[in-house]
Structure 1
Amino acid sequence: MKIAICDDQEQFRSDMIAYLKRYAETYKKLFFYYEYRNGSEMLASAVDFDLIFVDYMMTDLNGVDTIAQLRERNVNTHVIFFSSFPEVVFDTFSVNAFRFLIKPVEYPKFEEAMHAYFRDIEQYKTIVISNNHNSMVYNVPEDEIIYAQADNVYTQVFTVREAYTYTGTLSAFEKLLSEGMFFRTHRSYVVNMRYVERFTKSTIHFTTGEKAPIAHTRYKLFFQTYCDFIKEKGRQML
């Protein structure tokens, strides 16, 4: 498992590596550590990380802007932010942060975040997308689905990596998805709330730069559902 630690304080990076070594020894994990002094260094790396630890405030490029650039490259890696300022936690939502740890980080909080990470990667199921046109069957991780769009009797499924055609209606595809993560914003669209960056009364903007419509009759329910989703996410992050 490849882990990036991006922080402009050498001592803090050393402390995090010590925590990771302790966790790996306790729970029999194999970690490879990559240290970066700033966001630019990490962005220049060719390593495909499984988990990223990043400081919110750094001298070169702040953590949110760093991760935003990774998201633009369709990098869907779990990210855990650090900061001495708890109030900035909401800023990290825009880049789909997984957890937020307040400095100074004590080991029990770190351990809890690592447990949450492993639970999270284990819980998401794989969606089987069959396409009768090319006789192909694709196993797509559910958490990588950004949105799905009706296309007559078929469904176009857009993920962080590529798009797929599902042989079946949007309603049939929606039944395959986990409740609480996806929402039917329009008769022709189902969206993953994990990727919502912002929205108006008519349009959802995803962290990937894509958009989807919200039907007027669905806006009020979507607003409440998304607020509940964010509240729960915020509760889990701290």
Structure 2
Amino acid sequence: MVTIFLCDDNQQMLDNYSGLITKFASINQILITLSTFESGESLVFHLADSPNQADIIYLDILMGPLNGMVTAKKLRELGCNSEIIFLTTIEDYVFEAFEISPVQYLIKDSTSDERFEQILMRAISLAETKKTEMFVCESGSTCKVIPMKDISYLEIWKRVVMVHYRTTETFEYYGTMEQVVQQLREKDFIRVHRSYMVNLQYIVKFQPQSLLLKTGEMIPIGVTYLKLVKQAFSDYISRSNIYLSR
């Protein structure tokens, strides 16, 4: 089951995209639930207490008073890790969209049905992959299984590993940085400091000696790691395939 939310302040667009999503899900034999919202405010309110209800969110940008870009940022601040697909009639926001890590940035009325289907299926594939990737750690008799998509970063101090996830939650266990690096190899995590490992999808901005994460936290970045981290983040953005689609 794939949960999809569609947010647009134009009823005609809601009807149009609801029809396309339902049509292509049926053709590809994907079982979905689809909910629609007529404003960014109503979407944020609905997700306030449980930000990861949706696997995929289609989000119109030109809405008021809370436009789609601001809505997306608020959702990320809440800890929402849903796959976001922006819908708009103009290209002005495409570079700002990088901060949100969207699946795609679609130009309304210019995207073919075939391309729309491809993007939907790609988003579903990404969402399903996230569901199966888990980080397993143990402390005493407690075994914790955390979705990797929920982890923003890990920090290590004197062999105590602290996992930061879902914005405000943490879990501690005994381990080494080498073990963490091995466990997260090829999982879009990068070591940024001798004591920190960061999820690439949470990086918002590079500061001279730190990283700003989508959670609002600042993580120190070691001078010897800076070049490697920037390259890894650039590769991640390229793999994420964020560009305009018509």
Q: Same fold (TM over 0.5)?
A: yes
User: Does the 8 Å contact 2:107/2:244 carry over to 1?
Assistant: no
How many percent identity over aligned positions?
A: 27
Higher mean alpha-carbon deviation, 105-114 vs 44-53, is at: 44-53
The residue type equivalent to 1:69 in the other structure is K
- Of the structure 1 ranges 188-197 and 6-15, higher mean CA displacement relative to structure 2 is found in 6-15
Contact residue 201 and residue 219 of structure 1 kept, 8 A: no
Judged with a 3 Å threshold, the aligned counterparts in structure 2 of structure 1 residues 141 and 180 are, in CA distance, closer, same or farther, namely closer
Query: What letter corresponds to residue 214 of structure 1 in structure 2?
Result: I
* Residue in 2 that maps onto 1:34: 35
Q: Which residue of 2 aligns with 1:126?
A: 134
Which of the residues 115, 124, 132 maps onto 1:109? Answer: 115
Offset, 1:25: 1.6
Cα separation, 1, equivalents of 2:54 and 2:239: 26
Secondary structure of the corresponding residue to residue 24 of structure 1: helix
Q: 1:33 offset after TM fit, Å? A: 2.3
Unpaired runs of 5+ residues, structure 2, are none
Q: Which amino acid aligns with 1:91?
A: E
Shift, 1:2, TM fit: 3.0
Tell me how far apart the structure 2 counterparts of residues 178 and 142 of structure 1 sit (CA, whole Å): 12
Output the CA distance in 2 between the equivalents of 1:237 and 1:147.
Answer: 30
Whether contact under 8 Å (1:98, 1:237) holds in the other structure is no
Whether the 8 Å contact between 1:23 and 1:111 is mirrored in structure 2 is: yes
Is this contact kept in 2: 1:203–1:211, CA < 8 A?
yes
Distance 1:117 1:44 in 2: 24
Q: Distance in 2 between matches of 1:10 and 1:208?
A: 33
TM-score (norm 1): 0.90
Q: Which has the higher contact order (CA 8 A, sep 6+)?
A: 2
Partner of 1:146: 152
Change in Cα spacing, 1:170 to 1:160, as seen in structure 2 (3 Å) is same
Q: Residue type matched to 1:198 in 2?
A: K
Deviation at 1:12, TM superposition (A): 1.2
**Cα gap change, 1:237/1:123 in structure 2, threshold over 3 Å: closer, same or farther?**
farther
Counterpart residue type for residue 75 of structure 2: L
Question: Comparing 5-14 with 100-109, which one deviates more in the overlay?
Answer: 100-109
In structure 1, list runs of 5 or more residues that go unmatched.
none
Measured at CA, do residues 89 and 180 of structure 1 come closer, stay the same or move farther in structure 2, by a change above 3 Å? farther
Q: Counterpart of 2:103 in structure 1: which amino acid? A: F
1:214 deviates by 0.6
- Counterpart position of 1:222: 229
Distance 1:216 1:69, change over 3 A: same
Matched, 1:186 2:187: no
Distance apart, 1:205 and its partner CA: 0.5
- 1:36-51 equivalent positions in 2, closer than 5 A: 36-45=37-46, 48-51=53-56
Q: Distance in 1 between matches of 2:31 and 2:187?
A: 32
Contact 1:39 1:62 in 2 (8 A): yes
1:158 corresponds to? 164
Q: How much does 1:86 deviate?
A: 3.4
Instruction: State the Cα distance separating 1:184 from its structure 2 match.
Output: 0.8
Asked whether 1:137 is paired with 2:143, we answer yes
Helix, strand or coil for the counterpart of 1:190?
A: strand
SS at match of 2:66: coil
Checking the alignment, whether the CA contact within 8 Å between 1:101 and 1:109 is kept in structure 2 is no
Alpha-carbon deviation of 1:95?
Answer: 2.3
Distance 1:178 1:145 in 2: 14
Partner residue of 1:208? 215
